[in-house]
Amino acid sequence: MGTVNGESEPGGTSRTRRRAARPRQGASMADVAQLAGVSSQTVSRVSNGFPGVTEDTRAQVLAAMRELGYRPNSAARALRRGEFRTLGVITFSLSTMGNIRTLEAIATSAAEHGYAVTLLPVAVPTQDEVNGAFSRLGELAVDAVIVIMEIHLLDAATVSLPPGVQVVVADSDAGDRYTVVDTDQAGGARDAVRHLLDLGHDTVWHLAGPEGSFAAQRRANAWRTTLTEAGRTPPPLVRGDWSAESGYRAGLRLADEPDCTAVFTANDQMALGLLRALHERGRRVPDDVSVIGFDDIPESASFLPPLTTIHQDFAEVGRLCVEGVLSKMREGGAEHGTTLVPTRLVRRESTARRPG
Amino acid sequence: MGTVNGESEPGGTSRTRRRAARPRQGASMADVAQLAGVSSQTVSRVSNGFPGVTEDTRAQVLAAMRELGYRPNSAARALRRGEFRTLGVITFSLSTMGNIRTLEAIATSAAEHGYAVTLLPVAVPTQDEVNGAFSRLGELAVDAVIVIMEIHLLDAATVSLPPGVQVVVADSDAGDRYTVVDTDQAGGARDAVRHLLDLGHDTVWHLAGPEGSFAAQRRANAWRTTLTEAGRTPPPLVRGDWSAESGYRAGLRLADEPDCTAVFTANDQMALGLLRALHERGRRVPDDVSVIGFDDIPESASFLPPLTTIHQDFAEVGRLCVEGVLSKMREGGAEHGTTLVPTRLVRRESTARRPG
DNA sequence: CCAGTGGATGTTTACGTAAACATTGCCTAG
DNA sequence: CTAGGCAATGTTTACGTAAACATCCACTGG
């Protein structure tokens, strides 16, 4: 390590020593300016694409930049401009496909706006962990934050944000306290139930997600409400845990319900398990039982039969999160509210008119 | 825009105007220092937990920090220290489970080392896009880069990194040109084949991944080599595209091969489809046909029957990427090489002794 | 009793950039 | 022909932090 410096050489100027101490520094504006024979301000103008520079001068500066391999120092930029051009994303693990797709869309959309994305993973969804993520945030180089997290975790956290840092929350329904972007869970569930009622089914069974999940709860509520409003009696709720395996177990039970001709499953994975159980029990889909899912994961088009489902536009959610947080930054807006992203019914082959 | 300034007011000092122009700035060290009645250097010492500060003074400074809601400005810090404490991750979309789990482990591990993670998504895996990501990187506030990408995409790219930025590549086999951390694909495939041979099967069929994938290629090569070394004749290769649907189609074909008693599938999704096809054709697993997968996705334990598979430790890959890149930064090492993360055979119920 | 020592704290400075202001020189209108 | 104006470029300064160096003071040992 020490051998690199060559400190034994006595004549080293302080400049040389500094360089040696921080070898990763590249060329600065001053270096480029000197080589190009202009002032550093002109280099800055070229670097930022500002007007007021002759074509000749610009070319000369660009040449010098290339020769020195100049890269603007983003720390100095951020310090000078007072902003980092970076968005922080707090998310509880990347375990669900929806979160990931949302994150991906956020990253892409942020890049389009010239923003980078910094990830703040929360390993365990405890209150402490979430609090920790938010306080670490204070020291982090971000201008705004997007939280992808169910609201009950956020609720528990003592959220204290650095001044001037805006927040948008995805996957939540706390529109009264935060700016929220979310899929229209209720609308999607309503469309699913209505689709089955329109096909002539007397009622619709529901295979719900776990109790802890607000998304599951909202879908279940909308299912119940829609049935009640249509004058039907909601059958007993069947609960899974989002997994295909839990859908399979639920399916074995539902296969034994003779008057069960239509099932709305709270996600596609559980629908997959359900399809398998019904198939094993000799209940044909869609001839005997219609099944509709939720999410429209890539595989659902390849299920047997291809699954009718409710498409969620995660990409749009991510995009709106970014736009929302950027506009809040510009306008300093503090007002809350929820932006709902509509779902779309995707008709495939797992639903049909009521038998008989 | 101009209306915000209130420029008509004549008496505004330049200081006031500056504040108004950048309202998001919080308290600085100077502010804390003034309130605490100490110098800003002392605040710096407290902020960084340096010794040489009386307990009294420290308490006073901390109180002042709390009162003003002081947060260190990370841009100024980065500028001063010459490093960002941030790792960049370049990845081609977050479409595969493996990449995501690796990314998650990277983020967690980086956080443990006091580093943040910035995401550089490459929307389309074209040469231009990859090049673009690498050049954007130059302006980005990162000290080092981890690339999660198959090597042929990286190969095509004209990779020019800013000086001093170290790189580690995951999911690749270019150990001669980069520092690589990867799952031991060949070892895993070999274990899978040997497991089936040990169970008495004459030979092992292989349902491979798509031709474009190096991971698929390495698994297929190891499959062939292991069979040949054991003196068996490799059956014709069957190719899928990683999807369950392609596994199902392949399964329908394999079900008609009477001497196919053992199949090594290049991933668990295809194994799922294969299981379904075999079930439909009345070929019992594992009684008639043994099936082994690769990856050990969470669902595979719930397949019917639970899938014997090769566990990939994505978390370990991510962790090693971070450690590797950090140690390269410390030591300025330029030497390349590949670190292999071992796989593990997970015995469940889809494999059994050869029938008859 | 005083020089010496070392811990606590203060002062100066530079990091690289870009805003604000200053200067130069050429072109045009009167 | 010259004042005025504008485009191109240069100079100064501050952003917030932390390293390096300077200072102060209390205590110790001879």
Is A294 a residue whose pLDDT tops 60? yes
Q: What percent of chain B has pLDDT over 70?
A: 86
pLDDT over 80 at A247, yes or no: yes
The count of CB pairs under 8 A between chains A and B is 151
Q: Which of residues 73-102 of B touch strand D (CB under 7 A)?
A: 73, 76-77, 79-81
pLDDT range class, residue A2, cuts 50, 70, 90: very low
- CA A80, CA A86: separation in Å to the nearest integer? 15
Residue A11 — very low, low, confident or very high, per pLDDT cuts 50/70/90? very low
Residue to test with chain B: of A24, A47, A280, A330, most B Cβ within 10 A: A24
**pLDDT at position B157, please?**
61
Q: Do B302 and A244 touch (CB under 8 A)?
A: yes
Would the CB atoms of B243 and A302 count as touching at under 8 Å?
Answer: yes
Looking at the domain that runs over A84-182+315-341, which CATH code has it been given?
Answer: 3.40.50.2300
As a whole number, the mean pLDDT across chain A is 85
Q: Which of A285-289, B302-306, B340-344 has the lowest mean pLDDT?
A: B302-306
Which stretch of A18-22, A103-107, A347-351 has the lowest confidence by average pLDDT?
A18-22
Q: Distance in angstroms, CA of A57 to C1' of C24?
A: 16
With CA atoms as reference, the chain B residue closest to A1 would be B331
Are the C-beta atoms of residues A180 and A173 closer than 8 Å to each other?
yes
Q: What is the mean pLDDT of residues A113-119?
A: 89
pLDDT at A230 over 90: yes
Q: Residue A176: its pLDDT value, please?
A: 76
Give the whole-number percent of chain A exceeding pLDDT 90.
53
Q: Fold for domain A185-312?
A: Rossmann fold (3.40.50)
The residue assigned the tokens 């391999």 is: A69
**Residue A47 CB lies within 7 Å of the nucleic strand C:** yes
pLDDT at B160: 61
User: Is the predicted pLDDT of residue B203 greater than 60, yes or no?
Assistant: yes
Q: Which residue is nearest to nucleotide C15 (CA to C1')?
A: B80
pLDDT at position A355 = 76
Q: B287 - beta bridge partners?
A: none
Q: How far is CA B113 from CA B71, B107, B109, B240, B246, in A?
A: 20, 10, 7, 40, 42
- HSE, side-chain direction, 13 A CA sphere, residue B110: 31
pLDDT at A91 over 90: no
Number of H helices, E strands in chain A: 13, 12
- pLDDT at position A178 is 85
What residue ranges do the domains of chain B occupy? Answer: 2-72, 85-182+315-340, 185-313
- CA neighbor of A89 nearest in space, from A354, A325, A332: A325
Distance (Å, whole) CA B98 – CA A22:
36
The two domains B2-72 and B185-313 share their CATH topology (first three levels equal) = no
Question: Helix B214-229 to helix B185-198 angle, to the nearest 10 degrees?
Answer: 40
* pLDDT for position B151: 66
Please tell me the predicted confidence (pLDDT) of residue A12.
32
The answer to which of A264-268, A335-339, B90-94, B324-328 has the lowest mean pLDDT is: B90-94
Chain B 44-63, CB < 7 Å to strand D: 44, 47-48
Give me the amino acid identity at B290.
S
**Shortest Cα distance from B56 to chain A (angstroms)?**
25
Q: How far is CA A303 from CA A307, A349, B250, B251, in A?
A: 6, 10, 15, 15
A13-CA/D27-C1' distance, Å:
39
Contact A24 B163 (CB under 8 A): yes
Let me know: does B341 contact B316? Beta carbons within 8 Å. yes
What is the model's pLDDT at position B22? Answer: 39
Q: pLDDT band at residue A253, thresholds of 50, 70 and 90?
A: very high
Chain-chain contact of A78 with B82 (C-beta, under 8 angstroms): no
The answer on pLDDT for B17 being more than 60 is: no
N-term to C-term CA, chain B: 83
pLDDT of residue B154 exceeding 70: no
Confidence at residue A163, expressed as pLDDT on a 0 to 100 scale: 64
Average pLDDT over chain B reads 85
Confidence of residue A330 (pLDDT cuts 50, 70, 90): confident
Task: Give the distance from residue A228's alpha carbon to the nearest chain B alpha carbon, in angstroms.
Answer: 35
- Contact yes or no for B107 and A121 at CB 8 A: yes
Which chain B residue is nearest to residue A164, measuring alpha carbons? B24
Nearest to B151 by CA among B113, B109, B179, B110: B179
Q: Is A172 helix (H, G, I), strand (E, B) or coil?
A: coil
Helix H, strand E, coil C: the string for B299-334 is HHHHCCCCCEEEECCHHHHHHHHHHHHHHHHHHCCC
Indicate the range of A12-21, A246-255, B129-138 predicted with least confidence. A12-21
Mean pLDDT of the region B27-40: 92
Q: What is the mean pLDDT of residues A336-345?
A: 93
> How far does the CA of residue A197 sit from the closest CA of chain B (Å)?
30
The answer on pLDDT for B126 being more than 60 is: yes
Q: Does A39 contact strand D, using a CB cutoff of 7 Å?
A: yes
A123 touches strand D (CB under 7 A): no
Q: What pLDDT was estimated at residue A4?
A: 30
pLDDT > 50? residue B14? no
Interface-testing mutation among A32, A79, A279, A300, with chain B (most B C-beta atoms within 10 A): A79
- The verdict on a CB contact (< 8 Å) between A79 and B73 is yes
Lowest mean pLDDT among A169-178, A246-255, B52-61, B108-117: A169-178
Is the pLDDT confidence value at A63 over 60? yes
Quote the minimal CA–CA distance from B227 to chain A in Å: 33
> B85-182+315-340, what's its fold?
Rossmann fold (3.40.50)
Pick from B116, B162, B244: CB nearest A118: B116
Whether B116 and A23 lie within 8 Å, measured CB to CB: no
Q: For the structural domain made of B185-313, what CATH number should be given?
A: 3.40.50.2300
As a whole number of angstroms, the distance between CA B96 and CA A255 comes to 34
Residue in this structure with the two tokens 């006031």, named with its chain if needed: B16
**The pLDDT value given to residue A7:** 31
Kindly state which CATH superfamily the domain B2-72 is placed in: lambda repressor-like DNA-binding domains (1.10.260.40)
Q: Where would I find the beta strands (DSSP E) of A34-143?
A: 86-92, 116-122
Q: How far apart are CA B243 and CA B317, in angstroms?
A: 23
Q: Which region among B18-22, B239-243, B341-345 has the lowest average model confidence (pLDDT)?
A: B18-22
pLDDT above 80 (res A305):
yes
Are B78 and A75 an interchain contact pair (Cβ–Cβ within 8 Å)? yes
- Report the residue of A1, A66, A74, A281 to disrupt the B interface, i.e. the one with the largest count of B CBs within 10 Å: A74
pLDDT-derived band of residue B239, with 50, 70 and 90 as boundaries?
Answer: very high
